[in-house]
């Protein structure tokens, strides 16, 4: 399987450095090998030209008995080759062996090769089977209209070139490996500031920037404008500064909004209570009251009660947002669910209310009133947003992770576009904000806030014919915070 190329910047830089060095070494090695081979070939050609075909010319006298006419091997190197060609036929061929001329039996291929050597005074490389090797040969014209061919073996040249190539391969290979290791260390050291920038960006990405007050990390020190990493560090510092300013501004705005909600709820409590009291007092009047007036007073009483609930919900959320402490006492969660189910059955008799509770009572540490309100809101949500005849099942279980409360129904489900924000404030399935159901859009927001204040989690899963709200409370009780009640 082919190994994928490195993707990190360090890997790419190191690989590029090693590849470039390897290419440079290959180019140098090839160039020096070619140059050395050309130089050695030139020296062979000079030796062949200096011999002038003397050894080859002396071969025609080899068969004569006169010693003075024997082959002239004086000054000839070992394994020097000589041949005489007359009228396109090789008449004699020999090689210098131990200062004497040793005749050769040429093959037909060798004869064709020798007769094909051009008489131009230049060296040519040929392969002779009879001498088992490659030769550098040169052909010159003889005095008897013959062609004299003299050759020197190429083995010493090729051995020298091969030895040079082996030495270069060893040295260049060691240089590439050493450079690769040193380059990797150098690139690692050079990119250390970039790793600090990456770590800082990852640290910021892991912060809960969506909500609450966030403590931003300090600025980076790698801000040298002469380097690319310094420029990135400077840009990141500017970006983090802008993010911190935006978060501070958002936090201040949220604090002002919470204070406003708390103050407005406090201020609205008294006039709403007065309006409700006067409406109820007018309805108790013994004298005749016109029907239109009585209807108006009834509506005022109903809307004032509804507004009272809204004000109470807003005040509760403001307290929870401000981190006000909850009660910290044992709560019988089983009894609490039984009471909430009885209230839901009375409010929605057309629904089928089912309980799945353990045999032994389950207790947690927390605020009984707020937990009762959270579970009651879940049951009211199921009753309000499902048609009559819907099965609503309340399940209570425990495990090592905590206490689990599930409220499931087989209603039509929650629209996909609302599932991610179902625990938000003033979120309704009816975007026209109809008051026909009497919903304020704060019930599930209160559930989430109460459960979070207890150190738990609230989640929802929904599909066609199945919706489940799940509350998980820690077994060790409520998460306490300091502060006074508003």
Cα atoms in the 13 Å half-sphere on the side-chain side of 141:
3
Residues 6+ apart with CB under 8 A from 450: 320, 367, 370, 371, 373, 374
3-state SS assignment for residue 94 = strand
- Phi, psi (degrees; rounded to nearest 5) at 284: -85, 0
Residue 71 has pLDDT above 70, yes or no: no
* Token pair of 230 as six digits: 């310094």
Express the helix, strand and coil content of the chain in percent, nearest 5 each. 50, 15, 30
Residue 392 has pLDDT above 70, yes or no: yes
**pLDDT digits 0-9 by tens, 109-157:** 888 999 898 988 888 999 888 776 889 999 988 877 888 888 899 888 9
Q: What is the DSSP letter of 479?
A: P
Residue among 260, 313, 280, 282 nearest 438 (CA) = 313
Residue among 335, 463, 480, 327 nearest 396 (CA) = 335
DSSP letters, 438-465, are ---S-HHHHHHHHHHHTT-EEEEEEETT
Position with higher pLDDT, 95 vs 229: 95
Q: How many residues does the chain have?
A: 486
Taking the C-alpha atoms of residue 396 and residue 405, their distance in angstroms, rounded to an integer, is 5
Residue among 390, 393, 412 nearest 465 (CA) = 412
Residue 298 has pLDDT above 90, yes or no: no
> How confident is the model at residue 195, as a pLDDT?
79
DSSP letters, 146-165, are -EEEEEEESHHHHHHHHHHH
Position with higher pLDDT, 1 vs 149: 149
Q: Would you state the CATH architecture of domain 325-473?
A: 2-Layer Sandwich (3.30)
Q: Are strands 147-153 and 352-356 parallel, antiparallel or unpaired?
A: unpaired
Report the b/e string of 409-439 with b at 16+ CB within 10 A.
bbbebbeeeeeeebbebebebeeeeeeeeeb
Taking the C-alpha atoms of residue 447 and residue 407, their distance in angstroms, rounded to an integer, is 12
Rounded CA Rg of the chain: 51
* Token pair of 238 as six digits: 């500017």
Q: How far apart are the first and last CA of the chain?
A: 68
Query: Where does the pLDDT of residue 439 fall: very low under 50, low under 70, confident under 90, or very high at 90 and above?
Result: low
The kind and range of the H/E element at 356 are: strand 352-356
Its pTM stands at 0.48
DSSP letters, 226-282, are TSHHHHHHHHHHHHHHHHHHHHHHHHHHHHHHHHHHHHHHHHHHHHHHHHHHHHHHH
Q: Are strands 147-153 and 133-141 parallel, antiparallel or unpaired?
A: antiparallel
**pLDDT digits 0-9 by tens, 324-380:** 777 888 989 999 999 999 989 998 899 999 999 988 888 888 888 889 988 998 999
Contact status, residue 396 vs residue 334, Cβ threshold 8 Å: yes
Domain 210-322 class in CATH: mainly alpha
Query: Where does the pLDDT of residue 479 fall: very low under 50, low under 70, confident under 90, or very high at 90 and above?
Result: very low
> How confident is the model at residue 478, as a pLDDT?
40
Taking the C-alpha atoms of residue 98 and residue 294, their distance in angstroms, rounded to an integer, is 143
Average pLDDT for residues 269-294, to the nearest whole number? 74
Handedness of CA 471, 477, 483, 486 (dihedral sign): positive
How buried is 343 (Cβ within 10 angstroms: 0-12 exposed, 13-18 middle, 19+ buried)?
A: middle
> How confident is the model at residue 431, as a pLDDT?
46
3-state SS assignment for residue 44 = helix
Position with higher pLDDT, 481 vs 221: 221
Taking the C-alpha atoms of residue 19 and residue 270, their distance in angstroms, rounded to an integer, is 82
Domain 52-153 class in CATH: alpha beta
Position with higher pLDDT, 257 vs 352: 352
Q: Where are the domains of the chain?
A: 1-50+155-190, 52-153, 210-322, 325-473
Which of 149-158, 262-271, 291-300, 310-319 comes out lowest in average pLDDT?
262-271
Residue 34 has pLDDT above 90, yes or no: yes
Taking the C-alpha atoms of residue 95 and residue 109, their distance in angstroms, rounded to an integer, is 18
Handedness of CA 468, 469, 471, 472 (dihedral sign): positive
Question: What does the angle CA 192 – CA 194 – CA 197 come to, to the nearest 5 degrees?
Answer: 120
């Amino acid at each position: 399987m082919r190994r994928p190329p490195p993707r990190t910047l360090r890997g790419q830089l190191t690989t590029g450095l090693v590849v470039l060095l390897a290419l440079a070494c290959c180019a140098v090695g090839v160039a020096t090998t070619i140059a050395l081979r050309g130089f050695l070939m030139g020296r062979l050609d000079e030796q062949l030209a200096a011999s002038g075909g003397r050894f080859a010319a002396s071969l025609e006298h080899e068969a004569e008995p006169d010693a003075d006419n024997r082959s002239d091997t004086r000054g000839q190197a070992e394994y020097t080759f000589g041949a005489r060609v007359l009228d396109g036929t090789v008449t004699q061929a020999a090689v210098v062996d131990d200062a004497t001329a040793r005749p050769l039996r040429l093959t037909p291929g060798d004869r064709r090769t020798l007769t094909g050597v051009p008489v131009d005074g230049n060296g040519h490389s040929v392969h002779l089977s009879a001498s088992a090797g490659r030769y550098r040969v040169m052909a010159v014209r003889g005095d008897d209209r013959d062609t004299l061919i003299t050759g020197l073996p190429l083995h010493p040249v090729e051995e020298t070139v091969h030895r040079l190539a082996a030495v270069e391969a060893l040295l260049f290979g060691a240089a590439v490996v050493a450079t690769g290791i040193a380059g990797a260390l150098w690139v690692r050291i050079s990119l250390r500031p970039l790793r600090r920038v990456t770590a800082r960006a990852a640290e910021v990405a892991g912060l809960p920037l969506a909500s609450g007050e966030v403590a931003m990390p300090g600025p980076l020190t790698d801000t040298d404008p002469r380097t690319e990493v310094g420029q990135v560090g400077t840009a990141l510092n500017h970006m983090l500064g802008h993010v911190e300013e935006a978060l501070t501004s958002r936090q201040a705005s949220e604090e002002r909004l919470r204070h406003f909600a708390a103050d407005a709820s406090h201020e609205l409590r008294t006039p709403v209570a007065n309006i409700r009291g006067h409406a109820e007092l007018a309805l108790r009047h013994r004298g005749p009251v016109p029907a239109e007036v009585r209807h108006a007073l009834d509506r005022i009483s109903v809307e004032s009660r509804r507004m009272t609930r809204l004000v109470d919900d807003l005040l509760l959320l403001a307290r929870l947002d401000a981190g006000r402490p909850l009660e910290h006492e044992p709560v019988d969660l089983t009894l609490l669910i039984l009471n909430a189910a009885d209230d839901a059955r009375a409010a929605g008799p057309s629904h089928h209310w089912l309980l799945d509770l353990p045999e032994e009572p389950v207790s947690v540490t927390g605020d009984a009133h707020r937990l009762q309100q959270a579970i009651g809101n879940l049951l009211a949500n199921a009753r309000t947003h499902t048609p009559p005849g819907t099965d609503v099942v309340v399940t209570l279980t425990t495990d090592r992770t905590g206490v689990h409360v599930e409220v499931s129904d087989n209603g039509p489900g929650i629209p996909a576009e609302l599932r991610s924000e179902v625990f938000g404030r003033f979120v309704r399935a009816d975007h026209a904000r109809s008051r026909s159901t009497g919903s304020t859009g704060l019930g599930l927001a209160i559930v989430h806030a109460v459960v979070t204040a207890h150190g738990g989690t609230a989640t929802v899963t929904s599909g066609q014919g199945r919706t489940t709200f799940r509350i998980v409370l820690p077994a060790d009780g409520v998460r306490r915070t300091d502060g006074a009640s508003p």
